[in-house]
């Protein structure tokens, strides 16, 4: 028992250290302007609190142990009025003046690009809006250019969710019937994990997404590719997969631009093969994981809105996997 709990403790410590190092989803590894300023604020608060604690503790030991004599009235008054009224008022005032303006940045307007994100149970509908009004639909992944501020127009379908990419900025609630706004400005290219941060039902914990911060040129190239229609299946198994996709009526819920599939119930699958994750940050983008997902949706995500195609033969699932994985 004792050894057990010691192991658990070691694991916990290791997990803490490792999770802080990995930093894909950590406020302790900030990579966006807003996360950086919150990190600074946290450090100021923490160090300040430690200094204050030491100061008060030392003073306490001084007056009770080291020099426990009666103080002159004047000294006592200075200590009480100065340390009890003037100092805290000035300190709290200074902290307010420092921290309140930090709330401006995440609410600043975008610099051209806006992304409309709608939280559904349990995935993210994503829609890029260019300055000229063009819309590029996507899902379950957010891509942002490094160095510029991108606006996020947030909404929710049925219940409240919350949008949060810890490494890039603060969180904002997503409320049905009400638009909320946040902007993000990544400073270093990389892949950061986001997570729904407001309990939204059975698969709330399985509602995540990857955020890919890209150099502006890379981002422009990616966006251009994302706007294109789906590539037609290139190999025989992929073509078979496309046929099964049509036969099973997947297009009633999913859109694959450039094909007959125009459903709006589930995520857009036009370029699903080029995403970093599958099923809202839960699986990998491999033909096997696609097949697993389609055959066992509700085992992977409890109460999911997509039916499980467990009646399909293994070869059909594999073909679907190959087709979808090829939708780059």
Nearer to Cu ion by Cβ, of 30 and 169: the residue is 169
Distance, CA of 217 to CA of 121 (rounded, Å): 33
Nearer to another protein by Cβ, of 181 and 222: the residue is 181
Tell me if 276 sits within 8 A of 290, measured CB to CB.
no
Nearer to another protein by Cβ, of 108 and 160: the residue is 108
Pairing of strands 114-120, 150-156: parallel
Nearer to another protein by Cβ, of 10 and 96: the residue is 96
Contact of residue 125 among Cu ion, another protein, ligand HEC, none (CB under 5-8 Å per partner type): none
Nearer to another protein by Cβ, of 21 and 89: the residue is 89
Strands (DSSP E) found in 199-274: 208-214
Distance, CA of 233 to CA of 325 (rounded, Å): 10
Per CB under 5 A, 301 contacts Cu ion: no
Tell me if 33 sits within 8 A of 107, measured CB to CB.
no
Count of residues binding another protein (CB under 8 A)? Answer: 12
Output the six-digit token pair for 276. Answer: 């970093």
Residues numbered 58-117 forming contacts with another protein, rule: CB under 8 A: 85, 89, 92-93, 96-97, 100-101, 103-104, 107
Per CB under 8 A, 262 contacts another protein: no
* Residue 198 CB, nearest approach to Cu ion (Å): 6
Considering only residues 146, 196, 212, 244, which one is a binding residue for Cu ion as defined by CB under 5 A?
Answer: 196
Residues numbered 16-35 forming contacts with Cu ion, rule: CB under 5 A: none
Contact of residue 280 among ligand HEC, another protein, Cu ion, none (CB under 5-8 Å per partner type): ligand HEC
Contact of residue 242 among Cu ion, ligand HEC, another protein, none (CB under 5-8 Å per partner type): none
The set of residues, in sequence order, having a beta carbon less than 8 Å from that of 195 and lying 6+ positions away, is 25, 164, 166, 207, 208, 209, 281
Strands (DSSP E) found in the chain: 114-120, 123-129, 135-139, 141-145, 150-156, 161-163, 172-174, 180-184, 190-195, 208-214
Output the six-digit token pair for 249. Answer: 């009526």
């Amino acid at each position: 028992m004792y050894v057990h709990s010691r192991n658990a403790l070691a694991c916990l410590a290791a997990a803490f250290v490792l999770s802080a190092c990995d930093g894909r989803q950590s406020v302790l590894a900030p990579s966006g302007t807003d996360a950086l300023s919150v990190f600074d604020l946290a450090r100021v608060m923490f160090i300040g609190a430690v200094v204050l604690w030491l100061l008060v503790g030392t003073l306490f030991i001084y007056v009770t142990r080291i020099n426990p004599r009666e103080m002159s009235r004047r000294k006592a008054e200075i200590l009480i009025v100065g340390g009890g009224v003037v100092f805290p008022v000035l300190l709290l005032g200074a902290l307010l003046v420092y921290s309140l303006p930090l709330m401006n940045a995440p609410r600043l307007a975008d610099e051209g690009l806006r992304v409309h994100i709608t939280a559904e149970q349990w995935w993210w509908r994503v829609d890029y809006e260019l300055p000229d009004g063009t819309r590029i639909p996507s899902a379950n992944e957010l891509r942002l250019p490094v160095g510029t501020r991108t606006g996020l127009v947030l909404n929710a379908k049925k219940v409240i969710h919350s949008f949060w990419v810890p490494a890039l900025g603060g969180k904002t609630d997503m409320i049905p019937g009400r638009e909320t706004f946040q902007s993000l400005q990544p400073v270093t290219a990389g892949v950061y994990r986001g997570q729904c941060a407001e309990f939204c039902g059975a698969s709330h914990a399985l509602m995540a997404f990857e955020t890919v911060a890209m150099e502006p040129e890379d981002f422009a190239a990616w966006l251009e590719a994302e706007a294109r229609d789906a590539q037609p299946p290139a190999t025989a198994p992929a073509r078979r997969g496309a046929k099964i996709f049509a036969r099973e009526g997947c297009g009633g819920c999913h859109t694959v631009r450039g094909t007959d599939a125009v459903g709006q119930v589930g995520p857009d699958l036009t370029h699903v093969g080029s995403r970093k994750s599958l099923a809202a940050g839960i699986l990998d983008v491999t033909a096997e994981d696609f097949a697993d997902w389609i055959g066992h949706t509700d085992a992977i995500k409890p109460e999911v809105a997509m039916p499980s195609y467990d009646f399909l033969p293994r070869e059909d699932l594999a073909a679907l996997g190959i087709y979808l994985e090829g939708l780059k």
